[in-house]
Amino acid sequence: MVVTRFAPSPTGYLHIGGLRTALFSYLWARKNGGKFVLRIEDTDKARNSEEATEAILKAFNWLGLVADGEVTYQSKRDDIYAKYIEQLLEEGKAYKCYMTKEELEELRETQMANKERAKYDGRYRDFEGTPPEGVEPVIRIKAPITGEIIVRDGVKGDITFQAEDILDDFIIARSDGSPTYNFVVAVDDALMGINEVIRGDDHLSNTPKQIVVYEALGFDIPKFYHVPMIHNSQGKKLSKRDGATDVMAYKEMGYTPEALLNFLVRLGWSHGDQEIFSMEEMMELFDPKDINKSASIYNTEKLDWLNSHYIKNTSNETLVELLHDYELVLTSHDKKEILLDALKERAKTLQELSEQAKEIIATPTSYDEKAMKKAVKADTSAIIENFKAKLIAAEGIHMPTEYHHLIEAVVNEMEIGFGKIGQPLRIAMLGKMGGPGLDVIMSVIGKEESLKRIESFLDSL
């Protein structure tokens, strides 16, 4: 059975790159009828944030990425780590190192002066003397001094590391007894049955060290897939300016979970030329061996295009519910279907959809000066008065087509172009140019509100 995991450190919010590896792990487990585990790697007590942990869980809930079993917290597993550290000490595969900070700094300076790679020199590796007083030791693992460590990677192929170039006897427990990252990751992955690890290739340098821990404890080594990073359009590391922001910020900006996940699955993975994938299709088609070997490029326009697609194809009933989060309540509005049908063809985000709807529903309090100069002519007042009279006389008017017929009647009667009435009437309704059809706007706000706005506009002329 395939068992994957996502293991974020709660030292910051969940970002887009982390979410992508979580999605890949989730899809691969679901495709194979396996398990997807969520583990919070909170051993760094000085940098951990409960708020960040809550944000990670909130993001997973919003996106519908449901983990199997309870969420695991490394901070609650200290006894387990202590047990395996003690086992390595007893088996002679780890040892106590009494090197002081001053000694370490002196060693580093000497190595730098000799243009040598900075590394621990193993001085306590086989130490059998009397421990120095007043020094709380760290625990170091006995790493291979020579030979090769091969990472069998499903994306990059086999990667060979020379032990002497990348390893020293790295620390597995600090002087206060707290375990270190590479040790706890290997222990947890083994004990939790994680047999396929999909993660960013910024973790590749950690992998040989974790393999050392696996082998020292006699654990099976999982299959690794190291996913290339996401770059901006200039080919550089993604920054907040480019989109590397808290995942929940995408919700605030008005992106749907479906669009965001669809966008992410295509960052580094493809299935022919297909661009739009349902969750069911992702689970059916995704295979980590098809992940690209090169970095993917973040494209905001692509995300907007996908989000627009999903908004257009979302039922109005669902949109009404979603728009509550953007301070727009349409539940009891009798023309919500007409309003949403018109706006969801234009909006790229739910936030944009909400703002466009509010602009229609709210009575304008001022008129755009440039628009007024362009639209208001000598005959504008007479044209709008004509339309006003026809609107007052119209009984039982509700639908956009009925308002459209009134506008056409004025155009035909006064023998004018549509812009002659359309532009000033649009300003009367919205206070500016733009927006959906005038007939839709007036249908949504209704006859009485349309007349009020017309009166206010005429008074301003």
Residues serving a catalytic function are 240
Q: Are 409 and 390 in contact (CB under 8 A)?
A: yes
Cα torsion angle, 178, 184, 187, 192, sign: positive
To 10 degrees, the CA torsion angle through 334, 338, 341, 344? -70
Question: In sequence order, what E strands does 7-147 have?
Answer: 35-40, 72-73, 94-97, 138-141
Q: Is 430 exposed, middle or buried (CB count within 10 Å of its CB: 0-12, 13-18, 19+)?
A: buried
Distance CA 64, CA 247 (A): 13
Q: Kindly tell me the burial class for residue 206, based on how many C-beta atoms sit within 10 Å of its own C-beta (0-12, 13-18, 19 or more).
A: middle
Structure tokens at 419: 């812009």
**Sequence ranges of the binding site for ATP:** 240
Report how far residue 142's alpha carbon sits from residue 122's, in angstroms, rounded to the nearest whole number. Answer: 9
Residues annotated within the binding site are: 240
Q: C-alpha distances in angstroms, 172 versus 45, 168, 188, 310?
A: 16, 12, 14, 47
**Furthest-apart CA atoms within the chain: distance in Å:** 109
The whole-angstrom separation of Cα 375 and Cα 48 is 59
Q: Quick one: which of 210, 213, 202 has its CA closest to 151?
A: 210
How far is 220 from 71, CA to CA, in rounded Å? 23
Q: DSSP of 209-261, one letter per residue?
A: HHHHHHHHHTPPPPEEEEEPPEE-TTSSB--TTTT-SBHHHHHHHT--HHHHH
DSSP H helices, 72-178, are: 78-90, 101-113, 163-166
**In terms of Cα–Cα distance, which of 410, 411, 389, 402 is closest to 440?**
402
**Residues 89 and 95: beta-carbon distance below 8 Å:** yes
Asked whether 440 and 342 are in contact (CB, 8 A), the reply is yes
